[in-house]
Amino acid sequence: MRRRDFITLLLGIISTWPLVARAQQPTPVRRVGIVMPFLRGEAEQSERVLAFRKELARLGWTDGGNVRFDERWTTDNMEIVRAEAANLIASKPDVIFAIGGRVIPVLMQLSRAIPIVVPGAGDPVGVGWVGSLAHPGGNVTGFAMLELSILGKSLEILKQLAPGIVRVALIYNPDNPNSVFYRRAVESASGQLAVESVAVPIHGFVDIERAVATLAERPNAGIFFPADVTTTSLRNKIVDLVARHRVPALYSEPAFMKVGALASYGADRTELYRRSAEYVDRILRGEKAGDLPFQQPTKYELKLNLKTAKALGLVIPQNLLAVADEVIE
């Protein structure tokens, strides 16, 4: 081979090296942070996170392949929440999937850039997480778990379950920023139902135990538990406590039904987790959280427990049985 031909061939080979190098570079692995303010291994919450991850896999995000998950299970301890949130933000995930009325503000204080997808919020506009449902505008989006008008419907159902009720205690954690709106909605609805609403702020089980015991001393009382991380984490103890004091209670969180609660009325939380995976997928593919509308539930589920009703001496009306999504016998 002549020297000129050899040099031409060599230059041709060298010129293709950048193309080959780019072609051989692996697809970047995306990172999804998950913050759950519950005990690791807690069955109900683990099932929901699994549904979220399975839906992401269906959308093309394979764990250990093109995506890695960084799960932080913090329990309802805000010191742990703040420490884990700071550590997670420092690792710079591509998107964070998190829930909790007290958890999201912590994440927002730490970063206004990393997208946050919420699989269940109370009033995201009212608490200042987003500018509007249609146009969130910041780094937070996701799915609401209720419309505030549904709280009035919940009281109506409780009144139908126990017609003799003349007062209803709203048990909530005041540290949850959504609690302000829960109180207003319940106070407004109670007047229309001719029942007295009693606001009962709590921070732990001792507070709940004291409140239920006091309430049980007065006849014709009921309890409403709106969705909250604190009460959900204590649901086994709460349902047992309420049963011992024989007080009718209704819950927004359907997880209470698995441990013997009388009734629940709320959105399908597992479905909200599954739908949130679609938002995470869209963000990983380049869309901005602030451009994705904060969606509200399209369906609420009523669940009733006949055994618990019988133990309380209640007869569930046929009209409720007819519309119930699940009746536990």
Give the C-alpha separation, 99 to 121, whole Å: 7
- Cα–chain center distance at 8: 64
Write out the DSSP string of 289-329: GGGS--BPPS-EEEEEEHHHHHHTT----HHHHHH-SEEE-
**Contact at 8 Å (CB) between 234 and 264?**
no
Q: How many CB atoms neighbour CB 131 within 10 A?
A: 14
Supply the pTM of this predicted model: 0.85
Give the C-alpha separation, 57 to 284, whole Å: 13
Q: How many CB atoms neighbour CB 45 within 10 A?
A: 22
Residue numbers in the chain where pLDDT is lower than 50:
6-7, 9-10, 19-24
In this prediction, residue 24 carries a pLDDT of: 46
Torsions phi, psi of 222, nearest 5? -135, 170
Give the C-alpha separation, 9 to 3, whole Å: 10
In this prediction, residue 122 carries a pLDDT of: 86
In this prediction, residue 84 carries a pLDDT of: 97
Instruction: Scan for tokens 């002549």, then name that residue.
Output: 2
**Contact at 8 Å (CB) between 287 and 322?**
no
Q: What is the largest CA-CA distance in the chain?
A: 107
End-to-end CA distance of the chain: 90
Helices (H), 111-251: 149-161, 179-192, 205-216, 229-233, 235-244
Give the C-alpha separation, 282 to 197, whole Å: 43
In this prediction, residue 6 carries a pLDDT of: 45
In this prediction, residue 26 carries a pLDDT of: 60
**Paired residues of 224 in beta bridges:** 170, 250
Domains of the chain with bracketed CATH? 30-146+268-291 (3.40.50.2300), 149-267+300-328 (3.40.50.2300)
In this prediction, residue 318 carries a pLDDT of: 95
In this prediction, residue 50 carries a pLDDT of: 97
Nearest 5°: CA angle at 319, between 258 and 158?
55
In this prediction, residue 34 carries a pLDDT of: 98
What does DSSP assign to residue 225? Answer: E
In this prediction, residue 148 carries a pLDDT of: 80
**Paired residues of 63 in beta bridges:** 67
Give the C-alpha separation, 74 to 34, whole Å: 11
